[in-house]
Amino acid sequence: MGSTSKKINLRTSDGEILKVEEAVALQSPTIKNLYENSCPRKVIPVPGVTGNILSKVLDYGKKHVDAATGKENISAEELKAWDDDFVKVDQKTLFDLILAARSLNIESLLDLTCRTVANMIKGKTVEEIRTTFNIKNDLDP
């Protein structure tokens, strides 16, 4: 089925057009709703998500669709390891992935990225958290 699977065109906030397998794109309830309510041949806008971030989100979606459909023979442990590697990115990218997952309503990706941030905070003092996330203490007199 691979190359003959139906494709959807997505336009990112920075104007990039990505051609995506329908099964992968429709993992996002937001994209699914836009797709079902517009002509399927049109380009679907994905505001607030850049091409770089949407590509990563789609990589995540493809991996999970392929695992769920058996297209890729991968165990739950291997998928978890892949997920763990997927979120080993710089903070800006991680936060952009959180925003994209929220905007696109992809719960599993939102859970993964938020859990990653929570693990970055776990066991740290307030000062260590401020340092980790470059937060200034606005409450000092």
HEC per residue, 53-90: HHHHHHHHHHHHHHHHHCCCCCCHHHHHHHHHHHCCCC
What's the pTM?
A: 0.86
Question: 65 with 106: CB under 8 angstroms?
Answer: no
Residue 26 confidence (pLDDT) above 70: yes
In a domain, 50, yes or no: yes
Task: Give the pLDDT score at 136.
Answer: 83
Query: Cα 47–15–1 angle (5° rounding)?
Result: 85
DSSP 13-47: TTS-EEEEEHHHHTTSHHHHHHHHTS-TTSEEEET
In a domain, 140, yes or no: no
Least confident of 2-6, 81-85, 128-132: 2-6
Q: Model confidence over 71-93: pLDDT tens digits?
A: 888 899 999 999 999 999 999 99
Structural domain total, the chain = 1
In a domain, 138, yes or no: no
Q: For 120-139, what is the mean pLDDT?
A: 84
In a domain, 110, yes or no: yes
Q: What CATH number is associated with residue 15? A: 3.30.710.10
Nearest to 30 by CA among 97, 106, 99: 106
Scan for tokens 């590509």, then name that residue: 55
Q: Model confidence over 43-68: pLDDT tens digits?
A: 999 999 999 999 999 999 999 999 98
Residue 141 confidence (pLDDT) above 60: no
> What residues make up the domain containing 35?
2-133
